Structure 1
Amino acid sequence: MPNAADIAGNSDYGRHETENERLDRNWVEMLQELRVMQTGVQILTGFLLTLPFQASFDRLDSSQRTGYLVLVVLAALVTGLVLTPVSLHRGLFGRGIKSRLVANSDRVVRVSLASVGLLVAGTVALVFDVVVGRTAALVVGGSLIVVLLILWLAFPFFVRRKGSGAERKSDASSREAREHDADESGS
C-alpha cells in the first residue's frame, strides 16, 4: 500500500496525472473502500444491537455481558472512525488542501481497518463463548486476529515487495526496448 506521500501525489505510478487528478482519484478510491467497510460495520453493529432483545441474553454471565458491552462501544467507535473522512471532507471542502485531506483520511482508514478486525474477532469470540465455551472463544478469537493480520498487513506487504521487483524488471526492459528502438531509428 502506498504511503501518505504517495497518496498525496508524490509518486507517478506510471499514470500521467496532475497532482489534483491523482488526489481526486485517490479520494474516490478511498471512498469506495470506506463504503465496503461501512457495510460490514453496519451489519455487525446491527447484530450486536439486537442481542439484548433475544430471550437467551439473560443467560450470559458477567464476563460475556462485559464483553458484549465492550463490543457495542467498539462498534460505535468504528462507525465514528469510518465516518470521520466524510466529516473531514466537509470541514476542509473548498479550502485547497486536498493533499492533507487524503493523507489524513488514509491514516483514519488504516485505524478503522484495524478496529474492524478487532470488532470482527471480538464478535466471533463472543458467539463462541456463548455457544461452545470460553476456551474455544479465546482460541478462535485469537486465531482470527492472527489471520486478519496476515490478510490485511502481511499479504499486502508481500504483494508490494514481490511486485516492486517485477515492476523494476519491466521498467528496465521497457527502457532497454526504447533505447534499442531509438538506436535503430537513428541508424
Structure 2
Amino acid sequence: MNSHRDDGTPESSWTRGRRETREERADRRWTELLQEVRVIQTGVQILFGFLLTVVFTPRFTTLGTTDLTIYVITLLLGAATTGALMGTVTFHRLVSGHRLKPQTVLWASRLALVGVVLLLGTMTSALLLILRLTLSGSAALWVVAILVAWFVVCWFVLPAWVLHRYSSRE
C-alpha cells in the first residue's frame, strides 16, 4: 500500500527531508510534542501552584479591587493554560488506538499552541500584579510591556521569521 503526503503526492516522489511514512512522521512529531509539553508544563505547574497559595498569605487581604481582579484573571488564565497543555496528553489518550495518529498530532499541536498563548496571558497578568505591588506609578506597565514584547519576539516572531526565511529557499 502506497502512502501519500498530506498534499496527495506519493512518498516515492519526495526529494528532500526525511524519508518516513505518514505514520512514522506522526510518531516522531508526537514524541517531539510530548517533550516540548513536558518542558513547558513544569514551569506552568510551578506558576499555577504559586498562584494557588497566594490567597493564604497575609498580604492578600490588603489587595485593592484592581489587584484582586488581576489576581482572579491570572488564576483563571493559569488554570486554562494548565488545561490546554495537559489536554494534549489526554487528547492522545482518548483517541489512541483508533488509527488517528496524524490527526491527533495536528490537534494536540494546536492545543499546545493555545496553551502557549494562554501562558503569555498568564505571565502578563502575573507580572502586572506583582510589579504593581512592588513598583510605583506607571513603571509596572512599562516593565510588563517590555517583557511581553520580549516573550512575543522569543516565542512567536523569531520562529515565524526562521520559518519564513528558510522555507522560502526550498
TM range (shorter): 0.7 to 0.9
Where does the alignment leave 5 or more consecutive residues of structure 1 unmatched? 169-187
Corresponding residue for residue 41 of structure 2: 38
Tell me if the contact between 1:23 and 1:102 (Cα under 8 Å) persists in the aligned partners. yes
Give the aligned residue type for 2:38. Answer: R
Which sits farther off after the overlay, 142-151 or 76-85?
142-151
Letter in 1 for 2:63: L
> 2 CA distance for matches of 1:23 and 1:81?
20
1:13 to partner: Cα distance:
5.7
Asked whether the equivalents of residues 120 and 151 of structure 2 are also in contact (C-alpha less than 8 Å), the reply is yes
1:153 aligns with 2:129: no
- Cross-structure match for 1:48: 51
Point out 4+ residue stretches in structure 1 off by more than 3 angstroms: 10-13
CA contact (8 A) 1:125 1:138 kept: yes
In structure 2, how many angstroms separate the alpha carbons of the residues matched to 1:85 and 1:134?
40
Shift of the alpha carbon at 1:136?
Answer: 2.2
Higher mean C-alpha displacement, 125-134 vs 100-109: 125-134
Report the AA paired with residue 25 of structure 1: R
Kindly provide the amino acid, as one letter, of the partner of residue 125 in structure 2. Answer: G
Deviation of 1:162 (Å): 2.9
**Between the two proteins, what is the percent identity of the paired residues?**
34
| Contact 1:82 1:112 (8 Å CA) reproduced | yes
Who is 2:3 aligned against? Answer: none
Aligned match of 1:65: 68
Aligned residues between the structures: 160
Greater shift, 138-147 or 10-19, is seen at: 10-19
1:134 and 1:87 mapped to 2: Cα distance?
Answer: 44
Letter aligned with residue 30 of structure 1: L
- Higher-Rg member (1/2): 1
For structure 2, which runs of at least 5 residues remain unmatched after alignment? 1-5
Distance 1:141 1:13, change over 3 A: farther
Provide the secondary structure at the position in 2 that maps to 1:94: coil
**1:104 maps to 2:107:** yes
2:37 paired with 1:27:
no
Output the CA distance in 2 between the equivalents of 1:56 and 1:25.
Answer: 48
**AA at the equivalent of 2:44:** V
Give the structure 2 partner of residue 122 of structure 1: 125
Considering only aligned residues, what root-mean-square deviation do their CA atoms show, in Å? 2.0
Q: Does 1:88 align with 2:88?
A: no
Deviation at 1:12, TM superposition (A): 7.8
1:134 deviation in Å?
5.5
More helix by share: 1
Deviation at 1:114, TM superposition (A): 0.8
CA distance, structure 2, for counterparts of residue 58 and residue 142 of structure 1: 27
Query: Partner amino acid for 1:93?
Result: S
